[in-house]
Structure 1
Amino acid sequence: MGPTGAGKTTFINLASGSQLRVGSGLESETAYIQLSKPFILDKYQIVLIDTPGFDDTTKSEADVLRGIAEYLATMHTRKQYLHGIIYLHRITDNRMGGTALRNFRMFRELCGGDALANCAVVLNMWNEVSDDIRRAREKELRETDVFFKPAIDAGTLMMHHEGGAPSARAILSQIAQNNPRPFLIQREIVDMGKPISETSAGLVLLGDLAAKHLKQLAQLHEMEAELEEAVRQKDEKEQRELEEIQLKTKRERDRLEEEQRRIRDAPAVATEVPLRTVGPLQTIVTKVWRAWRALRERV
């Protein structure tokens, strides 16, 4: 897991020899969950699961959460448990902004406090900055309460990825030694029967969306006053500029309202989806698979 552009897919390709599509810059290629080809490491057969970030450029946050939740719930239903989750963070970032904080908060809520001991924060692109800078950033990330400190205190490892296959595999060797266990989102959906809107991750996402929505409403209120003043002053240029900004803000307001509605009104999470299905055909294949399963059960 991790923000778009953190290097998740590249890490997986290096470790597994897979050829999953890699995005360029901040444009995501991981529109759906992707799986690496199985490979042997030490005494383990490993499959890595690539997930889109919650800042994905092609999917809404609600869709990202639902996709991850469905996949993990299906694993739990089949008694297939993860050895761990790796959260990738770019050490090249000179600050941990709102997007990165939101992604990490969602990661923590998906895992739950008990399962954080099975996780690792991996500082990616380690060799792309000087040693003094990366050590200073690592110290800040490790020791700051709003960054990674609470997870590390709960048992999460912090590791470095230096860019090659040996480095990626060394990280996986450490994770593979964990005892597999269920994560919070799996227990909430499968064992407790919660809808996404009532899971810890869902509540956090709803809170974030509501805060953004209030901000958009406040901006629209301010713009109304500015627009009225521009009309009084007969400043046509200012009026046109404000109307364009107002239109964009209204579109964002509407998007946030729709996101919140989709989470609140979401149907029950499917706990049986085809685990090997990846890519843009996932939705179509899943619908066909569910129809076939329903027909088989009737027969």
Structure 2
Amino acid sequence: MALTQGPRDKDHQVTIVLLGVTGAGKSTFASIASRSPVTIGHGIEPCTQDPLAVRFKLPDSGQSIVLIDTPGFDDSVRTDLEILADIAKWLASQGFVRKHPLDGLILLHPATHAVVRRNETQRTRLLEKLLGDDAYSRVIIATTMWENLSAEEFMASVGGHMGRFGEQGVWANFRKKGATFMRHDNTEESAHKIIQHIVSKSKDLKAKTLLHGGLADNARVGDEVRQQLEEAFDFTHEQLKLHKKERPPKEDRKSKDSEKQRRYMEWEAEKRELEEMLKAQERRLKKLDSMILRMINVFARLFW
């Protein structure tokens, strides 16, 4: 279902969500674009723990912009599913479902991450389930951090990123359905160019509030979430089985040989870690139909 609205002008705020892995440059992008100080992280731990709305106007047009800076994926504490659920919960609490539907999404991806990892494949698959077909024209995948690469690394990364667009590439469906791919060079001009692309698409569309398409789509998102949780559970379960097979002799635990004792203690610590991980994944599966799935369905409504 779509609610028809008139053309948007500069008095209407254009709201854009920034997504990406920890360290992709989301907070830096928001800071550069808005000329405002936004706390920026420089390590592997996420700097942004909760979403943050950064408001400003484009200098040339006066267009009001709201950038939603979000926690990064590949977090050491929360899973990507939990991060998406937390983002959705925050968006709903701030009125971005009923009052200020989203105009676009910028997925920031560091050029240093040319290799496609399992987590990225899974969250890209989920995003494809969440996005309605009309949303892709308002999605931009912006590559960042090219300036951090040597000439040799630059060429290798270009080749790796080209593969992402191929028939079997992780971004193939985004390309086919109309998403835009741009390079961000860490300047204000570059950030504003990316934002302006979404502004122009927003003005082109008359039907702005694209609501979720019904039970069939709910089931599609739910099936994907369940599959990812089950895959994670099965993977950890298999890792635990393999780890148990590698157990050092039990007597090593109290051995007078400090090296044997150390190896046994390390094995035991890793076993406990895998067991805790398995319990946490089991809990997520049990609450799938409550908090996580409800929140991800809220997220889906923003883009349908």
Give TM-score, length-normalised by structure 2: 0.72
| SS of the residue 2:194 aligns to | helix
Q: 2:212 maps to what in 1?
A: 187
Letter in 2 for 1:9: S
2:222 aligned with 1:177: no
| Contact kept in structure 2, 1:16 and 1:38, CA below 8 Å | yes
Cα 1:88/1:201, change in 2 over 3 Å: farther
| Counterparts in 2 of 1:25 and 1:107: CA distance versus 1, 3 Å | farther
- Residues 272-283 of structure 1: pairs in structure 2 closer than 5 A: none
**Mapped pair 1:120 → 2:174:** no
User: Structure 1 99/60 Cα, relative in aligned 2: closer, same or farther at 3 Å?
Assistant: closer
Matched residues in 2 for 1:182 and 1:256: separation?
Answer: 40
Q: 2:164 aligns with which of 117, 141, 144?
A: 141
Match of 1:22 in 2: 40
Q: Which residue of 1 aligns with 2:53?
A: 35
The answer as to whether partners of 1:3 and 1:103 remain within 8 angstroms in 2 is: no
Q: Relative to total residues, which structure has the larger strand share, 1 or 2?
A: 2
Q: Which ranges in structure 1 are unaligned for 5 or more consecutive residues?
A: 274-299
Amino acid at match of 1:117: S
What does 1:230-269 correspond to in 2, within 5 Å? 237-238=259-260, 240-262=262-284, 264-265=286-287, 267-268=290-291, 269=294
1:88 alignment partner, one of 87, 90, 108:
108
RMSD across aligned positions (CA): 3.6
**For 2:64 and 2:44, how far apart are their aligned partners in 1?**
31
The residue aligned with 2:302 is none
How far did 1:34 drift? 1.2
Percent of matched pairs sharing the same residue: 25
Contact 2:109 2:143 (8 Å CA) reproduced: yes
CA deviation string 1:71-104 (max 9, x = no partner): 3445564142211111111112342223443443
**Is the Cα contact below 8 Å between 2:129 and 2:220 reproduced in 1?**
no
* Residues in 2 aligned to 1:197 and 1:212: alpha-carbon distance in whole angstroms: 23
Which residue number in structure 2 is paired with residue 278 of structure 1? Answer: none
1:168 aligns with 2:188: no
Structure 2: distance between partners of 1:118 and 1:40: 18
Unaligned runs of 5+ in 2: 1-18, 299-304
Of 44-53 and 61-70, more deviation after overlay is shown by: 61-70
Is 2:25–2:144's contact at 8 Å kept on the other side of the alignment? yes
- Give the Å deviation of 1:36: 0.7
Q: Is the 8 A contact 2:130 2:221 kept in 1?
A: no
In the other structure, the counterpart of 1:104 is 124
Question: Is 1:214 matched with 2:214?
Answer: no
* TM-score normalized with structure 1 length: 0.73
CA contact (8 A) 1:8 1:50 kept: yes
Count of matched residue positions in the alignment of Structure 1 and Structure 2: 266
3-state SS, counterpart of residue 38 of structure 1: strand
Are residues 251 and 71 of structure 1, via their aligned partners in 2, closer, same or farther at CA, if it must alter by over 3 Å?
Answer: same
Question: Is this contact kept in 2: 1:14–1:168, CA < 8 A?
Answer: yes
Q: Deviations over 1:40-69 (max 9, x none)?
A: 363631101111123124544453132122
Deviation string, structure 1 residues 137-179 (Cα, Å, up to 9, x no partner):
3322222524211211121111100110100110111112223
Residues 104-151 of structure 1 show CA distances to partners (whole Å, capped at 9, x for unaligned) of 334334335552332111111133333634432332222252421121
State whether residues 184 and 191 of structure 2, in contact with CA within 8 Å, keep that contact through their aligned partners in structure 1.
yes
